[in-house]
C-alpha cells in the first residue's frame, strides 16, 4: 500500500445562512502533500488569517521510522492564495499535535495542543499533558510549556488576554484512566507561567471545554459539554467567569455539545454546537438567559454540527 499524507485547504469566500444568498464561491482549493514514504498522514485542526492577508494552519503530521510511530505538531504558513511560505514541525514526545492557533500582539503565534509521553499497551491508552508553544512570525520557537497531572489533560482553545498573557481551556483527566474528567481553565502570563488554574467539577458528570474568550470588561466566557457518567447524551455547558476564574454563573442548555461562543456589540452572546437532531444556535443575554434558539435540522439524512462562529462588518453571524 502506498503511504501518503495530504491536507486539503479550501478558502470559502462566504458561508452565511440566509434565504437569498448566492452560491458559495470557492476562491482557492489547495492540497498540501507530504511526499516521503515514511509520512503516513497529516491533519489540520485550526486555521486563521494573518495580518499579511495570508493564512496559518495548525495540526499534526505522523510518520513511521522503523517500528516507531511519531506524531509532531505541524504549522503551515501560506500567502493569500494558499501557496506555502514555510512549514515547521515541532515534537519530541511520542505524539504531539496542535488543536488551536491564534495570533499574538507581537506578530507571532500561540499554539495549544497536547504532548503524549507514555503508551499503556495493555489498556491501549496514552498519557499526555497540555503543550503550549509560543512562536515568532517565522514559526521559530520562543518558548514551550507543559501543564498536567499523572494521566490525561487536553487543551482545546487558547486566546491572548488584554494583559498580554493567555487564557486556555480544556479537560483535566488526572483522576481516572479512560474517563474524561473535569473542565480545566488556566491563566498564563506572557511567558507561559501559570497565574492561576481552575477546575470545574460536576459530580457524576463528564465535562469538557471547547472554547474560551475574554470580554472587553475582563470577564471570560467558556463553552463545552457535560454528560452524566457514561451516558452518550450530553448538554451544552456555558460558564461565565470573573477575571480570577471564579464562576459567575453556569448554564446547561438542551443540546449535545457546545463548540464555539462569541460576543455581540450589545454584550449578548451567541453559542454554537449540535443538538440531538442537528446544528444549534443560542443567543443569550449577559446573565445567561435565552433570547432565541435557531436550529439547522437534518437534510436528506445528513446531520449538521456548527463548529465555528464569527461576525462580519455588519455584525451578521457567519458560521461553519
Residue, of 199 and 125, whose pLDDT is higher: 199
Residue 300 has pLDDT above 90, yes or no: no
For the question of whether the overall pTM of this predicted structure is more than 0.75, the answer is yes
What is the Cα–Cα distance from 233 to 196, expressed in whole angstroms?
Answer: 32
Most confident of the following: 227-236, 266-275, 307-316: 266-275
Q: What pLDDT is stored for residue 129 in this prediction? A: 92
Residue 9 has pLDDT above 90, yes or no: no
Residue 121 has pLDDT above 80, yes or no: no
* Grid coordinates of 68: 516507531
Reported as a pLDDT band with limits 50, 70 and 90, residue 128 is: confident
Q: Per-residue pLDDT tens for 233-282? A: 678 999 999 999 999 999 998 877 889 999 999 999 999 988 777 788 99
Residue 287 has pLDDT above 50, yes or no: yes
* Grid coordinates of 82: 494558499
What is the Cα–Cα distance from 114 to 95, expressed in whole angstroms?
Answer: 8
What is the Cα–Cα distance from 60 to 2, expressed in whole angstroms?
Answer: 20
Give CA 59 to chain center in angstroms. Answer: 11
Catalogue all structural domains in the chain, each as residue range(s) with its CATH number. Answer: 75-319 (2.130.10.10)
Average pLDDT, the chain: 83
Reported as a pLDDT band with limits 50, 70 and 90, residue 204 is: low
Burial environment of residue 182 by CB neighbours within 10 A (0 to 12, 13 to 18, 19 or more) = buried
Give CA 246 to chain center in angstroms. Answer: 22
Amino acid at each position: 500500500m502506498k503511504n501518503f499524507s495530504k491536507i486539503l485547504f479550501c478558502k470559502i469566500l462566504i458561508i452565511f445562512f440566509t434565504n437569498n444568498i448566492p452560491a458559495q464561491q470557492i476562491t482557492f482549493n489547495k492540497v498540501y502533500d507530504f511526499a516521503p514514504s515514511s509520512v503516513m498522514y497529516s491533519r489540520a485542526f485550526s486555521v486563521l488569517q494573518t495580518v499579511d492577508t495570508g493564512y496559518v494552519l495548525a495540526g499534526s503530521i505522523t510518520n513511521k521510522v522503523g517500528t516507531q510511530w511519531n506524531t509532531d505538531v505541524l504549522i503551515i504558513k501560506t500567502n493569500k492564495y494558499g501557496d506555502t511560505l514555510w512549514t515547521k514541525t515541532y515534537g519530541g514526545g511520542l505524539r504531539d499535535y496542535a488543536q488551536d492557533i491564534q495570533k499574538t500582539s507581537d506578530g507571532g503565534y500561540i499554539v495549544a495542543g497536547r504532548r503524549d509521553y507514555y503508551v499503556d499497551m495493555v489498556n491501549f491508552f496514552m498519557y499526555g499533558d497540555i503543550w503550549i508553544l509560543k512562536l515568532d512570525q517565522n514559526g521559530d520557537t520562543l518558548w514551550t510549556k507543559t501543564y498536567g497531572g499523572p494521566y490525561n489533560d487536553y487543551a482545546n482553545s487558547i486566546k491572548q488576554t488584554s494583559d498580554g498573557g493567555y487564557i486556555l481551556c480544556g479537560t483535566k483527566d488526572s483522576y481516572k484512566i479512560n474517563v474524561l474528567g473535569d473542565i480545566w481553565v488556566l491563566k498564563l502570563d506572557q511567558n507561559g507561567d501559570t497565574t492561576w488554574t481552575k477546575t470545574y467539577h460536576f459530580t457524576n458528570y463528564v465535562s469538557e471545554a471547547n472554547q474560551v474568550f475574554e470580554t472587553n470588561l475582563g470577564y471570560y466566557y467558556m463553552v463545552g459539554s457535560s454528560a452524566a457518567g457514561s451516558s452518550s447524551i450530553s448538554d451544552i455547558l456555558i460558564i461565565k467567569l470573573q477575571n480570577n476564574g471564579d464562576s459567575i454563573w453556569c448554564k446547561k442548555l438542551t443540546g449535545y455539545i457546545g463548540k464555539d461562543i462569541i460576543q455581540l456589540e450589545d454584550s449578548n452572546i451567541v453559542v454554537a454546537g449540535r443538538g440531538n437532531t442537528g446544528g444549534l444556535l443560542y443567543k443569550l443575554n449577559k446573565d445567561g438567559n435565552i433570547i432565541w434558539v435557531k436550529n439547522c435540522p437534518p437534510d436528506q439524512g445528513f446531520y449538521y454540527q456548527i463548529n465555528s462562529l464569527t461576525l462580519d462588518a455588519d455584525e451578521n453571524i457567519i458560521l461553519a
